[in-house]
Amino acid sequence: MHLACSLWAVAVLCLPVRGRLTNFTLDDTSPVISYNPAPVMQCSPSTCPEPLPPLVPPYNGTSTLVESGVISIPFVGTAVYVYLSVEGACSFNLDGRIIGDAVNHDPISLAFYNDSLSDTAHILTISVVEPKGSIVLDYVVFSHNVRTSRGAIIGGVIGGVATAAILSIAGLLLRRRQKRKQLSTRGIPLGDHWPDKPSIQLMAMRKGEQK
C-alpha cells in the first residue's frame, strides 16, 4: 500500500504544470491604461446618459473620449480584444508594429482582436488618425494562461497520501476487531454459523470444560 502511494505521488509530481486560459478585463478607467495626452472626457453614469436600446451601455458604465494622441495598454497573454467606437480612423500597433485599423466604427463594439500571440508581455497602442478623429474606449479583454502552483500540487499529493494512510490503518483495525469477534471467551474459534446453532455452541463449551 505504501509503495503504491509513493509511486502515485512521484507520478503526480512528474506531470507538467499546465495552465488554464483565463480572460481578464481592463476597463477604460484602469490605471494600467495610459492616455497621452490626457483624455478629453471620461464618462460615467452620473456625467453621460446611457445609450438607448438596442445599444448596450458601456462596461461598468464608463467610457473615455480621446481626440488625439495615443492610448497605451500593456498586458500579458495569448489574445487581446478591444471594444471601442471610432469617428474617423484609428490604428492599432502591437509590440511596435502596426497590425490593424478601424474606420468610422460605431457604436461601441469589438473593433480589434488578435488571438494568436505568444503568452508573454505585450504593449498595444491605439492612435488617433488625425485630423478630426476621435476614439471612445470602453474596455479591453486579454487572455492569459494561469499556471497551477507547484506548491499546490505537492500539497495535494501530501494530502492524498495522508488520506490513504488513514484509510489503510482504519481498515486494519476493522479487520482485527472482526477477527476478535469470531473468538469465544474460552478461546474456541467460532464460525459465521455460530449464532444460528446454539446446540453446537453448548457442545463446544462442554468439551472445553472437560479438557
3-state secondary structure of 42: strand
Contact call for residues 83 and 134 (beta carbons, < 8 A): no
Count Cβ atoms within 10 A of the Cβ of residue 90 and give its class: 0-12 exposed, 13-18 middle, 19 or more buried. buried
Higher pLDDT residue, 95 or 201? 95
Please check whether residue 123 lies inside any domain of the structure: yes
Cell of 170: 482504519
Phi, psi of 30 (to 5 degrees): -60, 140
Domain boundary among 147, 169, 191: 147
Identify whether residues 95 and 187 lie together within a single domain: no
Contact 102, 78 (CB under 8 A): no
Q: Is residue 180 part of a domain?
A: yes
Task: Report the pLDDT value the prediction gives residue 52, as an integer from 0 to 100.
Answer: 64
14 found inside a domain:
no
Q: Write out pLDDT tens, residues 117-168.
A: 999 999 999 999 977 889 999 999 999 998 765 555 455 546 655 665 676 6
Mean pLDDT of 19-28: 91
Q: Supply 177's cell numbers.
A: 476487531
Q: pLDDT tens across 84-109, in order?
A: 999 999 999 999 999 999 999 999 99
Find cell 500597433 and name the residue: 93
Domain with 119 in it: 19-147
What's the pLDDT at 55? 76
pLDDT beyond 80 at 16: no
Q: Is residue 47 situated within a structural domain?
A: yes
- Whether residues 66 and 128 share a domain: the answer is yes
Mark whether 131 and 52 lie in a shared domain: yes
| Distance, first Cα to last Cα, the chain | 43
For 122-136, what is each residue's pLDDT tens digit? Answer: 999 999 997 788 999
> In this structure, are 183 and 84 located in the same domain?
no
CATH number of residue 28's parent domain = 2.60.120.260
Q: Which of 125, 147, 169 is the last residue of a domain?
A: 147
- Specify whether 86 is located in the same domain as 63: yes
* Better-scored residue on pLDDT, 179 or 197: 179
Domain count, the chain: 2
For 30-62, what is each residue's pLDDT tens digit? 999 999 999 999 998 888 877 767 678 899 999
pLDDT at residue 166 in the model: 77
Using CA atoms, how far apart are residues 68 and 84, in angstroms rounded to an integer?
15
